[in-house]
Amino acid sequence: MAGSRPKSGPTMHDVAAAAGVSQATVSLVLNSASGSRFSEETRRRVRDAVDRLGYRTNAHAKVLRDGVAGMIGFIGDSVATTPFAGAIIEGAQERAWEDGLLLLTMNTGGDKDLEAASLDTMLSYKVAGVVYAAMYHRRLDVPEALAGVRSVVLNSQDRAGRLPSVAPDEVKGGYAATRRLLDAGHRRIGLINIETLESRLPAAVGRYEGYTMALEEAGLDVDPELVRFGGGGEEDGYRYAVELMTAAKPPTAIFCANDRTAWGAYQAVADLRLSIPADVSIVGFDNQTTVAPHLRPGLTTFELPFVAMGRRAVELILQDAEPHGGVELMECPLIERNSVTHPKEMP
């Protein structure tokens, strides 16, 4: 009948009647209460009745009973539009599910009003914790509301130093990228960075620091003529690769501090009628799956560990540790393809 109230569905009383047990037994079986001892036959009858009737537990009742819902909140600035987003959400969701929790995900698009409303809604649901994620590594201001719930900053760092953060180890990544080229025999190694050092962007500063560490460890000076500071796009990769490769003494290898920059460098090398890796070896960073595997030759690069970072952020929430401003840095693994070989002058 129009306007009639929809049927609420089977109740715990219905499950108890179908299984031939008390409501208390159904509740204890479904919630795996510690200390409750039932035969496997009783548990099977309850589970069969639940499946047959299509019974669903009441999330609101769980909040009233336990004080938290079976969910972890995930707020990101561009989780719906960034190529990396799927991996970071996959890791967080996978880890949450291992403890029987769902991930409640919200993309804000950088809209602070939407972020505040989303966070308010998540907190009203009594989520077990909140992962506050950014889609590129930076220091950011965390909403004050997160002080009232277990929270972890993911792929960035809390500028105020209050909440724990999980982020990629940019210094080790820059070091390993440069070391890969040194190990291939290169000594004139260019760098096209993704921002200036003055920007204080952790990825740009850290990858440059790793580059200089590797060179100095090899007994080489950093040559300013071999270093360029772009904006992280293919246009700068193209422009600066042309500058480097048409210089009087060009590098034999270039570390591009992200894969989009490397993509631009590939185009420059092709337009100069040169070859990768015969004339110049190139290493990227990010392992952006829409770019790196599809370049020819495939780009040797370093992967941002998004799945592992997503898992770790949820793990820190589940551990219920005291809030702290420490930053946990995760290693960026090498993805070896075909863009690196030894320099021509090697015997």
Asked whether the predicted pLDDT for residue 322 surpasses 70, the reply is no
Percentage, residues of the chain above pLDDT 70: 88
Average pLDDT for residues 179-204, to the nearest whole number?
96
Q: Which two tokens stand for residue 61?
A: 């009742």
Distances (CA, A) of 314 to 3, 272, 310: 43, 48, 7
Three-state secondary structure call for residue 135? coil
pLDDT at 57: 58
199 HSE (CA, 13 A, CB side): 17
**Which of the residue ranges 90-94, 188-192, 242-246 would you say has the lowest mean pLDDT?**
90-94
> Poorest-confidence range of 60-64, 146-150, 229-233, 322-326?
60-64
Q: How far is CA 36 from CA 65, 243, 262, in A?
A: 17, 73, 60
pLDDT reading at 186 higher than 50: yes
- Tell me the pLDDT of the chain averaged across its residues: 87
Q: How high is the pLDDT of residue 137?
A: 87
Which are the contacts of 241, defined by CB distance < 8 A and separation ≥ 6? 192, 254, 264, 265, 268, 269
Q: What is the pLDDT averaged over residues 81-93?
A: 81
Looking at residue 54, its pLDDT comes to 78
Whether residue 238 is predicted with pLDDT greater than 90 in this model: the reply is yes
**Ordered structural domains, the chain, with CATH:** 1-54 (1.10.260), 67-167+306-331 (3.40.50.2300), 170-304 (3.40.50.2300)
Q: What is the pLDDT of residue 30?
A: 72
Region 181-196: mean pLDDT is: 97
Q: Does 5 score more than 50 pLDDT?
A: no
- 132-168 pLDDT, tens per residue? 998 788 888 899 888 888 999 999 999 988 999 999 9
Tell me the average pLDDT across 248-268: 97
Is the pLDDT reported for residue 103 higher than 70?
yes
Query: Which pLDDT does position 43 carry in this prediction?
Result: 86
Per residue in 264-319, pLDDT (tens digit) is: 999 999 999 999 999 999 999 999 888 999 999 999 999 999 999 999 999 999 98
DSSP type of residue 29: H
Torsion sign across C-alpha atoms 300, 306, 307, 311: positive
Section 118-134 average pLDDT: 88
End-to-end Cα distance, the chain = 88
Q: What Cα–Cα distance (Å) separates residue 201 from each residue in 133, 158, 159?
A: 16, 13, 12
Higher-confidence residue: 126 or 255? 255
**Quick check: 340 pLDDT over 50?**
yes
* Residues whose CB falls within 8 Å of the CB of residue 70, separated by 6 or more in sequence, listed in order: 59, 62, 100, 101, 102, 128
Q: Higher-confidence residue: 130 or 1?
A: 130
Handedness of CA 148, 149, 154, 157 (dihedral sign): positive
DSSP codes, 194-231: SS-GGGT-HHHHHHHHHHHHHHHHTT----GGGEEE--
C-alpha 340/C-alpha 347 separation (Å) is: 16
pLDDT tens per residue across span 29-85 = 776 554 457 788 888 898 888 888 877 655 444 544 454 558 899 998 876 556 677
| Residue 28 reports pLDDT greater than 70 | yes
Confidence at residue 260, expressed as pLDDT on a 0 to 100 scale: 96
Residues 6+ apart with CB under 8 A from 14: 53, 55
What percent of the chain is predicted at pLDDT more than 90? 56
